[in-house]
Amino acid sequence: QKNIHEMMLDWLAAGLDPQKSILFVQSHVPEVMQLHTLLSMVTPLSWLLRVPTFKEKVKLQPHNVNYGLVGYPVLMTADIVLYKAEVVPVGEDQLPHLELAREIARRFNNLFGNTFPEPEAKLTSFPSILGLDGKEKMSKQLGNDIEIALSDEATIERVMTAVTDPARRYRDDPGHPEICNIYRLQRYFNPLQLDDIAEQCRSAKIGCVDCKMLLAREINSTLKPFRERRATLAGRPKYVTSVLADGAQRAQVIARET
């Protein structure tokens, strides 16, 4: 429940409007699992075994390969097509899952008549953002992210742990912004100073610590209005609960029609 509440605070603070977007907890709409069961009956196992993210997770946990792992894309498909979604905002890493959802919807339609639209992907200007570790995509689960709820001080501390230019060993060494993860993150938060940062990095006028501090300040400046809204919403727990309850009712109406 705490995780649900915290996520809702983030979404609402980021600007999602409950009047325009139906926000709800997946498990509060039982039709999702019902459709998931039906879709699993028409989805060949071979389709699921070829999903790149499944192969990656098998390497990470070879002794715990279960249906929950292999069947997750079918559940994701049910989440999408149950509400007749035509466009889905996703990260780049989710494109294989969405393509599979299209295939499952197409197969279901071929077997039982035109029922579901084939959802299209909607990518942002930055479809994939590398985490602070410089290895994996930014993810709360991996602990390489920057949370909206962090204080300014905690944000600075988090950014200071980030991996930088692996080829720059000393402060006076010339930097290589093209291979530095902090520079990549500057593109999102500090685009107007990119050229200047790159020049100062290459000439060693600024060091990695300086660059991190500049990034942290820009992140805090960008997130300030979100954090202020979040703090206000955190003082209204009943409102957040009511948004979820109303969203579940609205979602279930659509789900039952499907």
State the catalytic residues.
57, 137, 140
Distance of CA 179 to the CA centre of its chain: 23
Phi, psi of 122 (to 5 degrees): -125, 110
- With beta carbons less than 8 A apart as the criterion, state whether 198 and 191 touch: no
Residues 6+ apart with CB under 8 A from 97: 51, 53, 73, 76, 90
Residue with tokens 């206000």: 232
Closest to 220 in 3D by CA, of 195, 190, 250: 190
Q: Rounded CA gap, 103 and 90, in Å?
A: 17
- With beta carbons less than 8 A apart as the criterion, state whether 26 and 79 touch: yes
Closest to 160 in 3D by CA, of 215, 227, 220, 222: 215
List Cα–Cα distances, 175 to 54, 160, 166, 188, in angstroms.
37, 17, 9, 20
